[in-house]
Amino acid sequence: MTARLLLVAIWLAVCAFEAFALEPRGTGDLAIVIERAQGAVAICETTARTQLARVTGFGDLSHASAVFSRDGRYAYIFGRDGALTKLDLLTHAIVKRVLQAGNSIGGAISSDGALVAVANYVPGGVKVFDAATLDVVADVPSTAGADGVRAKVVGLEDGFGRRFMWSEFENGRVRMLDLAAADTPRVSELGYAGRQPYDALVTPDGRDYIAGLFGEDGLVRVDLWAREPTVARFLAGYGGSELRLPVYKMPHLEGWSAAGEQLFLPAVGHHAVLVVDRRDWREIGRIATHGQPVFAVARPDGRQVWVNFAPPDNDIVQVIDVPSRTVIAEFSPGKAVLHIEFTPRGEQAWVSARDSDRVVVYDSASFARLAELAIDKPSGIFMSARAARLGF
């Protein structure tokens, strides 16, 4: 009798757990954190600042990024090993995983949520997949050099409609794929960016594609509203006579900032954040920082810009006040700060400290620590609210 009662109790506990696990919930406050060393993803929620689940089986996540389905339910994770993985944030399970290349560096999702594109290093090119099934829709090889090796694709971004833009590292070309007519994909050559474009962004209004250059001081923009979009240079030679320092970690332009008509961009090889006026694309300010910026991330209201840095200065975060263009706060979340992500309305900043195995959550007004989550070797933090934003 006792054994039977025990079995009944266990059965009831299992049923209760399953009912709890499957209880309907929204996706608007969900986030994922990449565990880069374990090939795992932590699913978190930002209302009570807790971890809900941990999912394994993603392969090499040493340089991983993610985009979200338009309803925020699914995350599409791009692994360094060329895998594209679709994760269900509500059931905490992998839906499908496709090993689509030898080495990939990120991706984008179309504005209608129907297509997922992946930027590939090996072999160079862009592959586009049906977001529901992960079946291949288009395959665009990058341009090959004299040695026959295709260029690495960097800075893959989504534009309005079914358009994707990217740069090619070795040859400096900027290209666009238009899939508005699914049966006739159209590739356009937008022009030469410069030496070694390394990353890119799309402004929140979807108008400008901006690519940074590693091989020279300067950036390029493409006006996507133009009838015939082409490449235009700006901030050429922004380093002036100042010696460029060795770069130990490339800046990430997707961690850029827009505050009104101002852009805040990390300077390659310099301890500075550049301030650019979007009306004429001139530099209007330069803010000295603790080290070489990697991410310069704007709070959603545009009032603050949070900055982290390349080694050996990567245990520090600085906060820039936009109106005064001054650093107003500095603190250490832990060792090897890799990423900063704000909640949708900006009241919290989530910061990953890889070598301290934790994610620290800050109040973005008072800078008080609100929570610490123990997560193994965390790197990228991605909020499901990205589903509603161009370029994310």
Instruction: Tell which residue, 102, 70, 103, 64, has the closest CA to residue 85.
Output: 64
**How far is Cα 342 from Cα 67, in angstroms, rounded to an integer?**
15
In the predicted model, is pLDDT for residue 267 greater than 90? no
β-pair partners for 321: 304, 326
Average pLDDT over residues 115-129: 96
Cα separation of the two ends of the chain: 58
**Contacts of residue 330, Cβ cutoff 8 Å, sequence gap at least 6:** 290, 316, 317, 318, 319
My answer on whether omega of the bond before 185 falls inside 30° of 0, hence cis, is no
Regarding predicted confidence, which is higher, 18 or 106? 106
By CB neighbour count within 10 A (0-12 exposed, 13-18 middle, 19+ buried), where does 148 fall?
exposed
**Which residues touch 360 (CB under 8 Å, ≥6 apart)?**
333, 334, 350, 351, 353, 369, 371, 372
Q: Are 237 and 218 in contact (CB under 8 A)?
A: yes
22 has a pLDDT exceeding 90 = no
For 287-310, what is the mean pLDDT?
A: 93
Res 171: pLDDT: 95
In which band, very low, low, confident or very high, does the pLDDT at 161 lie, cut at 50, 70 and 90?
A: confident
Token output for 362: 């800050």
pLDDT band at 182 (very low <50, low <70, confident <90, very high): low
Domain ranges across the chain? 100-248
Q: Per-residue pLDDT tens for 246-262?
A: 666 667 776 666 767 88
Does the pLDDT at position 152 exceed 80?
Answer: yes
Across the strands, what pairs with 358?
Answer: 353, 374
372 forms bridges with which residues in the sheet? 360
| pLDDT surpassing 50 at residue 229 | yes
Strand partners, 338: none
Q: Which fold has domain 100-248?
A: Methylamine Dehydrogenase; Chain H (2.130.10)
Q: Check whether 15 has a pLDDT greater than 90.
A: no
Candidate from 37-41, 106-110, 237-241, 367-371 with smallest mean pLDDT: 237-241
Does 243 score more than 90 pLDDT? no
What is the rounded average pLDDT for all residues in the chain? 90
Mean pLDDT of 80-102: 96
The pLDDT of residue 8 is 45
Q: From CA 22, how far away is CA 18, in angstroms rounded?
A: 6
In the three-class reduction of DSSP (H, G, I as helix; E, B as strand; rest coil), residue 64 is classed as: coil
Q: Residue 24 — very low, low, confident or very high, per pLDDT cuts 50/70/90?
A: confident
pLDDT at 375 exceeding the cut of 60: yes
According to the model, what pLDDT value does residue 269 have? 84
pLDDT at position 50 = 98
Mean pLDDT, rounded, for 34-49: 97
In this predicted structure, the answer to whether residue 228 has a pLDDT above a threshold of 80 is yes
Q: What is the pLDDT of residue 361?
A: 98
Provide the pLDDT for residue 237: 80
Residues facing 187 on adjacent strands:
177
Helices (H), ranges, the chain? 2-21
Range of weakest confidence among 156-160, 183-187, 201-205, 247-251? 247-251
The closest alpha carbon to 305, from 323, 291, 292, belongs to 323
* Whether pLDDT at 18 is above 50: no
| CA–centroid distance for 379 within its chain | 11
pLDDT of residue 20: 44
